[in-house]
A and B are shown apart, each in its own frame.
Chain A
Amino acid sequence: KTQVEQSPQSLVVRQGENCVLQCNYSVTPDNHLRWFKQDTGKGLVSLTVLVHENDKTSNGRYSATLDKDAKHSTLHITATLLDDTATYICVVGDRGSALGRLHFGAGTQLIVIP
């Protein structure tokens, strides 16, 4: 059973609009949660990591929240650009060490149109 669910599966927005991507998970323990961006045909690139209960992070136009009680995270992208077109992947780590496993969501495919 998938332990990391992302929604929506795909999303189309106009350049300049804001969007919100959702991640719900059942991984236990949930040591940390990371959002990756994957451009078409490329590898994954980390955007931000959330560690603590009710953590909030900001990285330029990307901001993210984590609610460990609800096992839920959101990724906000403000003032989208055409280059934001990509798949955004939510990953939950069950330990804070290399012995831990990463649990990957299937991703949200974001398309930004002019």
Chain B
Amino acid sequence: DMKVTQMPRYLIKRMGENVLLECGQDMSHETMYWYRQDPGLGLQLIYISYDVDSNSEGDIPKGYRVSRKKREHFSLILDSAKTNQTSVYFCASIRGAQDTQYFGPGTRLLVL
């Protein structure tokens, strides 16, 4: 059963703290994504990873960095979180070309 997992599902942090969001997939997909979803807006792309250690900025990379050391894991890191990074974060992976993206269940992050 194809699956994208995200941990944690819910997280509360104080402004200035570091945040680590984890994503895993069991489909050996090369390409993975991190998005954030805010009310009234479409998903916004933060970073793309084309494979291990092959990462590319998306549309809103500022304040974020990523790490992909294994094909099945893709991490999103917020160094010194800001209140405007409160959002729901989605990880996704894709097999290729016009195939669908498979989405994780999301991580709801609240930065106080």
Q: Which residues of A contact B (CB under 8 A)?
A: 2, 4, 31-32, 34, 41-46, 49, 51, 89, 93, 96-98, 101-107
**Quick check: B97 and A105 within 8 Å, CB to CB?**
no
What are 22 A-to-B residue pairs whose CB atoms are below 8 Å? A34-B100, A42-B106, A43-B4, A43-B106, A44-B43, A44-B90, A44-B92, A44-B103, A46-B100, A49-B100, A89-B43, A96-B97, A96-B98, A97-B96, A98-B30, A98-B94, A102-B43, A102-B45, A104-B35, A105-B42, A106-B40, A106-B42
- B94 CB to nearest A CB, Å: 6
Interface string of B65-105 (1 = CB under 8 A from A): 00000000000000000000000001010101110110111
**What's the Cα separation between A85 and B50 when bound, in Å?**
34
**Quick check: A42 and B105 within 8 Å, CB to CB?**
yes
Cross-interface CB contact of A32 among B42, B98, B103, B106, cutoff 8 Å? B98
Cross-interface CB contact of B101 among A2, A31, A102, A105, cutoff 8 Å? A102
**Quick check: A43 and B90 within 8 Å, CB to CB?**
yes
- B51 CB to nearest A CB, Å: 10
Cross-interface CB contact of B98 among A49, A89, A103, A104, cutoff 8 Å? A49
Cross-interface CB contact of B105 among A31, A43, A96, A104, cutoff 8 Å? A43
Collect the chain B residues with CB atoms within 8 Å of residue A34's CB.
100
Collect the chain B residues with CB atoms within 8 Å of residue A102's CB.
43, 45, 101
**What's the Cα separation between A74 and B25 when bound, in Å?**
31
Collect the chain B residues with CB atoms within 8 Å of residue A43's CB.
4, 90, 92, 103-106
**Quick check: B96 and A98 within 8 Å, CB to CB?**
yes
**What's the Cα separation between A25 and B41 when bound, in Å?**
15
**Quick check: B42 and A89 within 8 Å, CB to CB?**
yes
**Quick check: B42 and A107 within 8 Å, CB to CB?**
yes
Collect the chain B residues with CB atoms within 8 Å of residue A31's CB.
98
Collect the chain A residues with CB atoms within 8 Å of residue B94's CB.
98
- B26 CB to nearest A CB, Å: 15
